[in-house]
Amino acid sequence: MRTQLERDTPRALEFFEQYYERFIVAFPSLDTRSTFEECLRDLRDRRFNIIVVVRQDQIVGGVHVWEFGQFGLEEHIWTDPAMRGQRIGEALDFYVSNLLYSRGAIGMVSELLDPYRDRENGKVTNDGRQSESFARLAFFERLGRLWIDAPYVQPALRAEARSIDNMILTIQPLQADLQELSVTTYLSILRDYFSAITGGQNIEEVIQLHLAQLELWPLATGMIPFRSMEYFRQTNVI
């Protein structure tokens, strides 16, 4: 997407507008996603890009990707509900993990709304279907994601937004020996990501909040472990 917009053509902007219209259907809450203008701002950052899936001239999926050296961050992966079951999401995730690996990343991190604490969506719908947040948990489980067993709060993206305290971070190790994170590395990932998504705002207060919580966290070895998503399920109660 960034390469197209750099050409600065009316067609490129029109394509982005079409993409954004589909994207906000998948992520309606402004507390957890960028505005149209913020998304354009992010696309001017060389560390950020949007991968878009087009079939028969129709936008049917996408994913947002940040690159921070040894770690990449995959966010807002989505597919058109009418196209689900065709493994578009899995293909997107595979593409991103291979892209990051080819550029030297050792791990791919992703946010996930915790369905056990998702006050708006963490429930079974009236017709008996699981909520969207539980569906995303199952999707991440199929991908083989691991839970980063550490406190996580996403800062407010802008002045009128709210911080999100019912999320978890997951990771896909891209090297076999990546099995845990030091506290320093974890906070460095958060600092890079938070600074990027808030447009460079001072995020030290929220970093210090994480540090204070980590000091109370049961870190048996002083390192932050990775847990299976099954373990995550077992330690929560609906």
Mean pLDDT of the residues in the chain = 90
What secondary structure does DSSP assign to 115-164, as a single string? TTT-TTT-S--TTSPPPHHHHHHHHHHHTT-EEE-S---BPPSSTTS--B
Q: How far apart are CA 194 and CA 40, in angstroms?
A: 17
- Count of CB atoms within 10 A of residue 33's CB? 20
The CATH number of the domain holding residue 51 is 3.40.630.30
Q: Which of 173-177, 198-202, 225-229 has the lowest mean pLDDT?
A: 198-202
User: What's the number of domains the chain is made of?
Assistant: 1
Provide mean pLDDT across the span 86-111.
97
Per-residue pLDDT, 130: 63
Residue ranges of E strands in 166-222? 167-173, 180-182
| Residue 25 structural domain | 2-234
Provide mean pLDDT across the span 7-36.
91
For the stretch 22-81, pLDDT in tens is 999 999 999 999 999 999 999 999 999 999 999 999 999 999 999 999 999 999 999 999
Confidence of residue 150 (pLDDT cuts 50, 70, 90): very high
Confidence of residue 183 (pLDDT cuts 50, 70, 90): very high
Residue type, 209: L
Q: How far apart are CA 110 and CA 89, in angstroms?
A: 14
Residue 227: Cβ-neighbour burial (10 angstroms; 0-12, 13-18, 19+) = middle
| 0.95 surpassed by pTM | no
Per-residue pLDDT, 94: 97
